[in-house]
Amino acid sequence: MSLFSEQLASLVGPAYVGAFFGGTLYGLMQRPDDKLRRTRRLLMNNYINNIGKTGSRFGNNAAAAVLLYIITGKMINFIFQEEFDDFKIGDSYKPAIYGGVTGALYKSTRGTRPMLFAAILGAGCGSFYNYLWTNKFFIYK
């Protein structure tokens, strides 16, 4: 099976769940500021709300990035298949290209520097995902 023939739920779902729990742990470390006129109940409510917001924000962003990676990869592979064949670009380099384009597209509204940084980060994540895929890390036994 190829890298992009997997079901979307097998990649987007674990990315969401993992990032949600990571965001929840990050939210647990963020303590709300103490105000003089707050009761303990209001402080706990504010703390729990911040944990939930942080977890869902992390999860939504990670799931959107993975979904964009998959869609961008399929589109680039469809449009540039002949160019990949002409330049003899192997399957090991394609995920880095997909990740770089995805990162640039994901942060394109922020400006040039964040877009370049996200492209480099996306290429690194795409290469790491390809490394895990080729070493059969995702095969269930």
Sequential pLDDT tens for the chain (141 residues): 555 555 566 788 889 999 999 999 999 998 877 776 678 888 888 899 999 999 999 999 999 999 999 899 889 999 999 999 999 998 889 999 999 999 999 999 999 999 999 999 999 999 998 898 888 876 655
Residue 19 is which amino acid? A
Structure tokens of 67?
């979904």
139 touches 113 (CB < 8 A): no
Contact 16, 63 (CB under 8 A): yes
Tell me the two tokens of residue 69: 């990676």
As a whole-number percent, the residues of the chain with pLDDT over 70 amount to 89
Place of tokens 């992009």: 4
Can you give the pTM of this predicted structure? 0.82
